[in-house]
Structure 1
């Protein structure tokens, strides 16, 4: 997916979903006897590092403290850290969404419009249809709001 995005949308920044990454923790690290502490520490490093330098320092300490510097999955994630660690993504506009919110809202937005077999051409067509449908829903909600009389139940005038 990363390569396709770089070719088709070269100026687009791809942000990996942290929820999906964190969901893989048990599969990738459960065999470690300190798994619960590893999970807790890793989440703190990822979510609470305020600067890239802080992340780098904490990541190095994490690898050393838990003796996981040879973990292939963690090393692969580290190489791509600019795609998933929030502190590396601060320079881009994300409409105020976290990765989880992006994922959940995008899944909900496209539900019923696209699936794993949708071609790029179909995706663009369905994207436009989803946008139009969303605008219509908003217009309908606005109409209902503006044309609904809500009786005052307070005895005070």
Structure 2
């Protein structure tokens, strides 16, 4: 999260010359950063490097080396419980809201800090009770969702279910071929070009 904020802060400084010199660079760079799949991410970087002759050690290649910390295509399958890149600092502010302010002296901080922690623990205990006292409402019969429902407290499961529903509703498949032994599918997202869909082979068990 912190690295992503650092990248955005210094992006203009490093890319200003390219944006001014090439009218299409900003749009191509934006497409690369916002790639939805790893395949798109890799192919668009190859296009950028080929067109603008980026060498090893350039800003773009260094950002590629740090891709696991910021790239949407790589991080999209990671669950962050609804927290955005700016959410961390906002979360800290909300944690102490009502207990401390900008005028609180360091030697006065301990008591309101303890009160904030006690209040958060009480809230978490209440969430634990609500979770144990009720069963999660599942939107599908998929075992992944059922497993998440048994592990997450109610609030976190609601966040997970929202992402899960959006992701699964956007998935589809096409049958490529079918035989007595195997069915071949192409699987992907509805809003992604089919050239980036995955091939899946499903072997049929023989009846005895």
Distance 1:75 1:95 in 2: 30
Pair 1:56 & 2:42 matched: yes
- TM value normalised by structure 1: 0.51
1:81 corresponds to: 67
- Of 28, 31, 51, the residue aligned with 1:44 is 31
Point out which structure has higher relative CO (alpha carbons under 8 A, 6+ apart): 1
- Contact 1:16 1:83 (8 Å CA) reproduced: no
3-state SS, counterpart of residue 73 of structure 2: helix
Alpha-carbon spacing, 1:35–1:84, altered in 2? closer, same or farther (3 Å): farther
- TM value normalised by structure 2: 0.40
Alpha-carbon spacing, 1:70–1:17, altered in 2? closer, same or farther (3 Å): closer
Pair 1:108 & 2:87 matched: no
Of structures 1 and 2, the larger Rg is shown by 2
Alignment of 1:1-157 (within 5 A): 15-32=1-18, 33-34=20-21, 37-47=24-34, 49-70=35-56, 72-100=58-86, 102-103=87-88, 105-106=90-91, 108-109=93-94, 131-132=117-118
Bigger fraction of residues in strand? 2
3-state SS, counterpart of residue 17 of structure 2: coil
- Contact 1:16 1:84 (8 Å CA) reproduced: no
Q: Where in structure 1 are there 5+ consecutive unaligned residues?
A: 1-14, 114-125, 137-157
Residue 96 of structure 1 deviates from its aligned partner by 2.4
Distance 1:27 1:99 in 2: 20
Distance 1:105 1:77 in 2: 26
1:4 corresponds to: none
Bigger fraction of residues in helix? 1
Alpha-carbon spacing, 1:52–1:31, altered in 2? closer, same or farther (3 Å): same
Residue 22 of structure 1 deviates from its aligned partner by 2.2
Alpha-carbon spacing, 1:107–1:42, altered in 2? closer, same or farther (3 Å): farther
- Contact 1:46 1:86 (8 Å CA) reproduced: yes
- RMSD over aligned CA atoms reads 3.5
Q: Where in structure 2 are there 5+ consecutive unaligned residues?
A: 102-112, 123-208
